[in-house]
Each structure stands twice: as C-alpha cells, then as structure tokens.
Amino acid sequence: MKYSAILINTARGEIVDQAALAKALSEGSIAGAGIDTLYPEPVTLDNPLLNLPDEMKYRIIFSPHVAGTTHEVFCRIHENVWNNFQAFNEGKRPGNIVNDV
C-alpha cells in the first residue's frame, strides 16, 4: 500500500492482520486506519492496535460495530452516552471506562 493509504475495515476483525497493521502504522508505511471491528471480540488488552506508541495513536480511529443493533439497544446506548456526558460534567466517573482512563 502507498504510505498515504488509509485502511478501512467494516467487515470482520479476522480480515486484517492486526499486528502487521500496528507495525505499518508505527513505521509510517500507511497513513492511517479506520477499524469497525477487532479480533477477538471482546477485544483483549494485549491487542497491538490498542498498544500503539502515543505518537501513533492519532493514526487510527475505532468505531463501534453496531450495524445490526436493534432499535431498543440503540436507544439504551444513546441514553448511556448522554448519562456519561452528564456524569463527566458533574465531576463523576462515567460508566464503562476502558483502560481506566
């Protein structure tokens, strides 16, 4: 791939060699990646894409893999997002924190 390429995966996590993608991002072999799903799911903390050097983390965007979500689940997710914003604004800890951030 060209160094200016951006890899987009909205299919399955298994399609992308995640270690190779992490290496390509770290070395600047490609410009970036948009990832809608990882392998395995649920993702493990040792996933190479979650452990990129800090200066490389801006090169990847993760999105939730929610194409098949029901209306009820979407409404619950939407409510949780706004509850988390409210908690944050009130100085409280939002729910579902990943990596204790």
Active-site residue (options: 14, 55, 59, 65): 65
Considering the domain architecture, whether residues 52 and 10 belong to the same structural domain is answered as yes
Q: Please determine, for residue 1, whether its predicted confidence score (pLDDT) is greater than 80.
A: yes
Q: Place 97 in a pLDDT band, splitting at 50, 70 and 90.
A: confident
Q: For residue 29, what are the CA distances in angstroms to 17, 18, 39, 53, 67?
A: 14, 14, 22, 15, 30
Active-site residue (options: 14, 27, 41, 79): 41
Considering the domain architecture, whether residues 41 and 8 belong to the same structural domain is answered as yes
Active site residue 14: no
Token pair 């894409």 is found at 49
32-79 residue pLDDT tens: 999 988 999 888 999 999 999 999 889 999 988 766 678 888 898 899
Considering the domain architecture, whether residues 76 and 48 belong to the same structural domain is answered as no
Count of domains forming the chain: 2
Active-site residue (options: 12, 14, 76, 79): 12
Q: For residue 20, what are the CA distances in angstroms to 17, 30, 61?
A: 5, 11, 16
pTM value? 0.65
Active site residue 78: no
Domain extent, residue 54, equals: 1-65
Q: Please determine, for residue 11, whether its predicted confidence score (pLDDT) is greater than 90.
A: no
Report which of residues 82 and 10 the model is more confident about: 82
Active site residue 65: yes
Considering the domain architecture, whether residues 54 and 8 belong to the same structural domain is answered as yes
